[in-house]
Amino acid sequence: MDQSPSAVTYKDLLLKKLSYSVICSVISQLALLQVYIFFTNTNIFHPLQWISSTFSVFTSISTWLYIIPFITIIFAQSIICAKDYVLKQEYCSTRFQNFLSVLSIRNFVLLILNVVIGSTLVWLFSSLGGGPYQSLIVDCNMLRYCLNEGSFLLIISGIWNGVYYFTKIYVAKKHLSFPVIHQRKLLQFKAQLIPLLKESIISSFWPTFYFIIIYMLWGDSFADHFRNMFGLLKPNDSYIGLQAYFYMWIFGGLYNFNMNLMQFFFNLFLTEPVEFPLQLLPNSLCLQECLNVSEWPIIQNLACYDLNNLALNSKPRRQAFFTLSQPGGHPHNWNSLVESVLKLFKEYTDQIEKSTTVTENLHKAAIPTQTIFQQNFPTLPNPIKSPERYQNFRNMSLVYHTCMDDDITVEVSHIPIRWNLLQSLIDKIKQKVNNAINFMKILLGINFLFGELPQANIQKCLANGYIVIWASQGISDLVCSSLLEDQYGIVQKDLPAIITTLVQLKQALDKLNKIPALTRKMAGYNDFNFKMKNAVNYAVKRSLFNICRTFGKFLNDIPLSKDTVFYLQSLYKV
């Protein structure tokens, strides 16, 4: 919250945040290295010597010759990664698009960087930390060099870690998560450090295990190739001890920890709340505008979060919305805020409605329809659809429709029977061909690759869930505090619009409950979409509830449509 509001553009603000996080991740690498050296030089009986040796290793020129290239790579990596957190994520509607988006040049560069970091990290830590795996080459007998197989194993495992981390974790998890409460950064760091380390060490266990299996199968041929390439000899005892595997696990954990730490710093700095200026000024950021910059999601998130905070905590900042401009006496600040918040809600509502109707249609199409009537009367205006599973029920509506058939046959009988037969024949052939094509699509996996993923749109909506949660809570708190603080009655004129938009949003959100992929049965307990759906739903509900509660007595003076009133009643009912 200590960010000054003087930041002029989005880019300044973002650059500041990103540069802090990049610097912190680079410094954290140095600190980690220092701690590692400290532990490997353990000498309990001579603590002074212990400290001095740590210090001397860390300050020697050779160490820095090792460190500088490593730091450069880390720097490059974090700068490339930074883009991921800031730019709008593209949602791919088919599996094929998903696949293509992974195969980009940027990702390729990142993969290479990950691999390089993985191997250099192992190389750096093992050579600075001392021990049996300090160097890749050992002097075996009489000025002839042999390959140190333990060290070779470790470096190859570093490469493996890089590949594994990139493919398994980095590609999947790039979204920022906002903490529930914002404490000081140091406290957040302290609270997260140990769990992060624990998690990294544990999560590196399985990749290490996989790697051991791979190395057991093909390790010898790797080592042979390498030896041939550099003309090295095979040492007499090429036995790799358990110690090497243990080191491997620890280095894997350290690598994961490094990468997680980098991610943590991005999260920490980017989600830090910013106080946006509230006055509309040319060439400057302001809250009202930032609420709608969907091309910079992080700015939009921060703006909504700021709205939420100011509505809750800060009376002087709330007052900026309840004042009139001088000269002129217009509530410009409030007007622009309402405009952008309502626009935000409307867009979101539209988005949800679009995606829910698409899936509803899909469902309807998926239900096999009875075609007897259609075959007999191809020109029937409204083909009667009755799901097959209800056929055995005594269906009153079906009886009603069969009664209607008499009239329809009269209409249809004008068409010559021969034409009719031909038409039905063509239709039959068409259907057969369609079926065959569909079957081929399924068989060849074309549907699988190019078919529209049903939840892609909804996922896109739900990924923006925080925005709606904070904006709705913020605007409802502002509206509620206006009852006491707004002396000009500025908010009153927009009350119907705000309530109606929120109700529409809530109604659209209710439709999400009907989507099978978003129910608990399908989603299980750990699904982000399922949780976010509930979070948005309940937040909007609470916001409406808050307005109802505060204005309860005056609500009948607000012009609202009957539907809206009815909905509010159902929401508020005890």
Partner 1 sequence: MKGLHEFEVPNDGEICLCEINGRVHSMNYDYANLNAFTDALESYPKIHITRDQLHLVSSGDEGKALFLPVDVSFLKQLTQVYYEQGFTEALHTAASHNQWLISKSSRLILDVLKYIKKVRLIFNPNVRYSGPSLINEYAQARNWLNSTIRCIAWHPYCTKVAVVTCDDSVRIFNSECGALTPLLRCKQQKHVTCIAWRPLSNTEIAVGHEDGVIVWNVDPNSLVVRPSISNAVVLRRLEHRPVISLAWSPRGDKLVTAAACDNTILVWDVELDQTSSLKRSGGSGNILVKWSPTGERLFSCSNTLVFRIWNCHTWDCERWTLPSMGRVQSACWAADGSALLFAAAGDTVLYGAVLDRDNAFVFDAESLEKQACPLFDLTCVDLEGIPFGGPVRQIEADPKGRHAAVLFQDTDCVAVFGVVKRPQLALIPSSLVMGLAEEKPTTISFIQDFGAGSCLTIGWSSGRMQYYPIIYSDLGESRNNKSVNCSSFNSFNAKSI
Which residue ranges make up the site for partner 1 (CB under 8 A)? 1, 177, 179-184, 187, 191, 309, 312-313, 473, 477, 520, 525, 531-532, 534-535, 538-539, 541-542, 545-546, 548-553, 555-556, 560, 562, 565-566, 569, 572-574
- Give 163 or 548: the residue with its C-beta nearer to partner 1: 548
Q: How far is CA 432 from the centre of its chain?
A: 43
Nearer to partner 1, 223 or 287 (CB): 287
> C-beta of 529: minimal distance to partner 1 in Å?
11
Comparing CB distances to partner 1, the nearer of 18 and 539 is 539
d(CA 32, CA 51): 16
Q: How far lies 13's CA from each of 294, 393, 529, in Å? A: 16, 65, 30
Q: Length of the chain, please?
A: 574
The DSSP call for residue 138 is: E
For residues 134 and 313, which CB has a smaller minimum distance to partner 1 in the complex?
Answer: 313
Nearest to 170 by CA among 248, 117, 214: 117
381 versus 559: smaller Cβ distance to partner 1: 559
Q: Are 564 and 522 in contact (CB under 8 A)?
A: no
**Min. distance of Cβ 550 from partner 1 in angstroms?**
7
Q: What angle do CA 382, 385, 389 make, to 5 degrees?
A: 175
CA–CA dist 446, 440 (Å, integer): 8
Q: Specify whether the backbone of 166 is left (phi greater than 0), alpha (psi in -120 to 50) or beta.
A: alpha
Phi, psi torsion values for 326, nearest 5 degrees: -120, 120
CB of 201 vs partner 1, minimal distance in Å: 13
Rounded to whole angstroms, the Cα distance separating 323 from 488 reads 8
User: Could you tell me the smallest distance in angstroms from the CB atom of residue 458 to partner 1?
Assistant: 17
Q: How far is the CB of 14 from partner 1 (least distance, A)?
A: 24
Shortest Å distance, C-beta 206 to partner 1: 20
Decide if 13 contacts 231 (C-beta within 8 A). no
Nearest approach, Cβ of residue 172 and partner 1 (Å): 18
Q: How far is the CB of 440 from partner 1 (least distance, A)?
A: 41
Nearest CB to partner 1, comparing residues 414 and 521:
521
Nearer to partner 1, 57 or 539 (CB): 539
Measured from the CB atom, the residue of 275 and 339 that comes closer to partner 1 is 275
Give the helix/strand (H/E) hosting 147. strand 145-147
DSSP notation for 503-560? HHHHHHHHHHTT-GGGSHHHH-SS-HHHHHHHHHHHHHHHHHHHHHHHHGGGGGGS--
